[in-house]
Amino acid sequence: MTVVDISIERLGVIMTSNGDATEIEGVLNPGSARGPDGELYLFPRVVARGNESRVARARVLHDDGVPVGVERLGIVLAPDEPWERNHRTGGVEDPRITRVDALDAWIMTYAAYGPLSSRVALAISDDLVAWRRLGPVSFTYDAALGTDLNLYTNKDALLFPEPVPGPDGQACFALLHRPRWQLDWLHPDAGTPVPRGVADARPGIWVSFVPADRAAHDPAELTRWSGHRFVAGPEQDWEHLKIGGGTPPIRTDAGWLTVYHGVAGDLVPGVDHQPHVRYSAGVMVHDPDDVTRIVARTPTPVLEPEAPEERVGIVPNVVFPTAIDVRDDHSADVYYGMADDQIGAARLRW
């Protein structure tokens, strides 16, 4: 499975810390969405001292169609809930935003950095200004897997913008997510209890489902997922440690396209900001009739840390795509974290 004729062009840095207390330790990994006014808005993760993260809002400034900067518009989400805080700090991290026409709303997925480390959480908005928490995500028990996905840390969640066929053919909303099987962070003897049938313990991408009619009746149903299926794991040297979701899926002629991240290098146990890893980005395409099936995938990175801003920062050698703005049938602008410190933009073509 390969993707041909994928190209990407860097457009430059569009946001860096202005020294304010709320972003003194970096701006990175934004969500994005077009507002009711047609303007493009970024929702960057901004990091205060002590690694405390919030989600901000900013309007993207363009010059002849090219993003060149932002106008800051304040904070929209802070770690105010107990499940978003832990004994050291707290965080609402790495937002991704999907417009869901069937709900007439935007849904934000984010990582809540709370007492049990990272959990997937959701918020909803009808104007991109005010956001209401739907709460942390839970996963129903699946006897076939022989494990409870709620045991594990989870992040990098991406919501498909429209219903897709679920495991039984029913129209469902689908959520890509990235559980991490290692439980040594919780207890040194906890080990790595992987689900039944999973041979590779390295973190990869999974998908879970909610019937569309349930979510249409009550969007809070989007916090209760079932029908869990493995989608993709590490394959190439540039992603040999793990892979995870990047940008929310967009529909193309070939299927649902996502830009994902892959990690290589050496992990240091117990360290938040890993100094010896390298984050790169690839593209995969999901079958529109069965999103668990990948019909195409780039064997080499489409974006890897090469620019100075990507190689030097809070965490060196990181490109981390999290937002995408479709331009036409064959191109989109991707917004990504640069070394966990700044935000860059790149133009993807296929």
Answer whether residue 4 shows pLDDT above 70.
no
Q: What is the pLDDT of residue 320?
A: 98
Q: What is the pLDDT of residue 136?
A: 98
For residue range 192-242, list pLDDT tens digits in order: 999 999 999 999 999 999 999 999 999 999 999 999 999 999 999 999 999
Q: What is the pLDDT of residue 3?
A: 67
For residue range 138-195, list pLDDT tens digits in order: 999 999 999 999 999 999 999 999 999 999 999 999 999 999 999 987 888 888 999 9
**Burial letters 61-79, b for 16+ CB under 10 A, else e:** eeeeeebeebebeeebbbb
For residue range 96-149, list pLDDT tens digits in order: 999 999 999 999 999 999 998 999 999 999 999 999 999 999 999 999 999 999
Q: What is the pLDDT of residue 184?
A: 84
Q: What predicted TM-score, i.e. pTM, was given to this entire model?
A: 0.97
For residue range 262-274, list pLDDT tens digits in order: 999 987 776 667 7
End-to-end CA distance of the chain: 16
The arithmetic mean of pLDDT across residues 11-25, rounded, is 97
Percent of the chain with pLDDT over 90: 91
The CA-CA-CA angle for residues 20, 22, 26, to 5°, reads: 85
Answer whether residue 71 shows pLDDT above 90.
yes
* Closest CA relative to residue 122, chosen from 69, 70, 158, 170: 158
Give the 3-state secondary structure percentages of the chain, helix then strand then coil, rounded to 5.
10, 55, 35
Q: What is the pLDDT of residue 270?
A: 66
Q: Alpha-carbon distance 152 to 149, whole Å?
A: 6
Percent of the chain with pLDDT over 70: 98
Q: What is the pLDDT of residue 276?
A: 87
Q: What is the pLDDT of residue 275?
A: 77
Answer whether residue 64 shows pLDDT above 90.
yes
Compute φ and ψ for 72, nearest 5 degrees.
-70, 140
The CA-CA-CA angle for residues 1, 171, 149, to 5°, reads: 70
Mean pLDDT of the chain: 96
Q: What is the pLDDT of residue 211?
A: 98
Q: What is the pLDDT of residue 1?
A: 56
The arithmetic mean of pLDDT across residues 4-26, rounded, is 95
Which residue ranges form the domains of the chain, and what is each CATH number? Answer: 7-349 (2.115.10.20)
* Element at 215 (helix H, strand E): helix 212-217
